[in-house]
Structure 1
Amino acid sequence: MTEFTPVTGLIGGLFIGIASVLMLWGSGRITGISGIFGGVLTPSKGDFGWRAAFIAGLLVGALVWRLASGDPLPVDLQVSWPVMIVAGLLVGFGSRLGSGCTSGHGVCGLARLSPRSMVAVVTFMLSAAITTFVVRHVIGG
């Protein structure tokens, strides 16, 4: 991330917040992506449809952006696919270990003033800062 884009960040954050509020008001559920995705992998009776639709909407949103803008998705992988796969598995493990992901704890949990989410977000942020420091300054990546 090299460019500071406060307007697009604000707009994106507003959309995420609105979607989270609508999910909570409409279904009484928290918009935590790891929990939603986990429910697709291990569905409960009558619970699979909305979860699959939610995940599909995330993927279709990227496709709609691509078709509407004509531009490629603004993604620039700076590591190999094996590294991305290991990183994804570690994120999944961390989400399970932390009983949720950044969207569930950071967006929804903090908005509800959840003490557990406050601890989780501080842990996420400290881990990210330490990892960035180690990768950039100790390992030299």
Structure 2
Amino acid sequence: MENFTPISSLIGGIILGLSATLLLMAGRIAGISGILSSLIPPQPGDALWRVLFIAGLILGAAAYPLFGGDMSFVTLNPYLLPDSAHYVLLIVAGLLVGGGTYIGAGCTSGHGICGLGRLSLRSFSAVMIFMAVAVITVFVMRVLVGG
């Protein structure tokens, strides 16, 4: 069951928009793939903010339940597969996302938040493709598979 929370969504969107704007004003893009890929190998004098950004993502997600966030929607085995198959699917999905990020020259956050904010035509095209694939995926999973 979906649970849309407009106030929380609005607050999260404002915080995300402000952080992306602050980074953009500093000449940086808040695309996760770019931030992470520039850590390997680290550039002199440029690694600290990238490490803090990634740490903030991880710590923010970890702290969510501590502040009353509902994690009941998280399941370890959504399709009732054996655990080994589930982990194989997670690895394959991660590799597909990484490959898509490389081919698309950026991730959804980079294109969707920062690229659209800069009125990038390439980012607009990427976001339209992301959305089309998302719609098709939901249709397949809900209607054809029955998930």
* Alpha-carbon contact 1:62-1:73 (below 8 Å) kept: no
Taking the aligned partners of 1:115 and 1:93, their CA distance within structure 2 comes to 21
Flag the 1:66–1:133 CA change in 2: closer, same or farther, 3 A. closer
Flag the 1:72–1:42 CA change in 2: closer, same or farther, 3 A. farther
| Range moving further from structure 2, 75-84 or 102-111 | 75-84
| Range moving further from structure 2, 56-65 or 91-100 | 56-65
How far off its partner does 1:74 sit? 5.4
Flag the 1:70–1:124 CA change in 2: closer, same or farther, 3 A. closer
Q: List per-residue Cα deviations over 1:26-80 (Å, max 9, x = no partner).
A: x21010011111112332333322211110111122233344x266645513253
Larger relative helix fraction:
1
Flag the 1:122–1:85 CA change in 2: closer, same or farther, 3 A. same
Taking the aligned partners of 2:68 and 2:6, their CA distance within structure 1 comes to 23
Taking the aligned partners of 1:139 and 1:52, their CA distance within structure 2 comes to 40
Normalising by the residue count of structure 2, what TM-score does the alignment of the two structures yield? 0.82
Q: Pairwise CA RMSD of aligned residues?
A: 2.1
Alignment of 1:1-141 (within 5 A): 2-25=2-25, 27-67=26-66, 69=67, 73=71, 75-77=73-75, 78-79=78-79, 80-141=86-147
Taking the aligned partners of 2:33 and 2:24, their CA distance within structure 1 comes to 16
Mind listing any 5+ residue stretches in structure 1 that lack a counterpart?
none
Normalising by the residue count of structure 1, what TM-score does the alignment of the two structures yield? 0.85
Opposite residue 31 of structure 2, the aligned amino acid is G
Aligned residue-pair number: 139
3-state SS, counterpart of residue 90 of structure 2: helix
3-state SS, counterpart of residue 39 of structure 2: helix
Taking CA–CA contacts closer than 8 Å with sequence separation of 6 or more, which of the two structures ends up with the larger relative contact order? 2
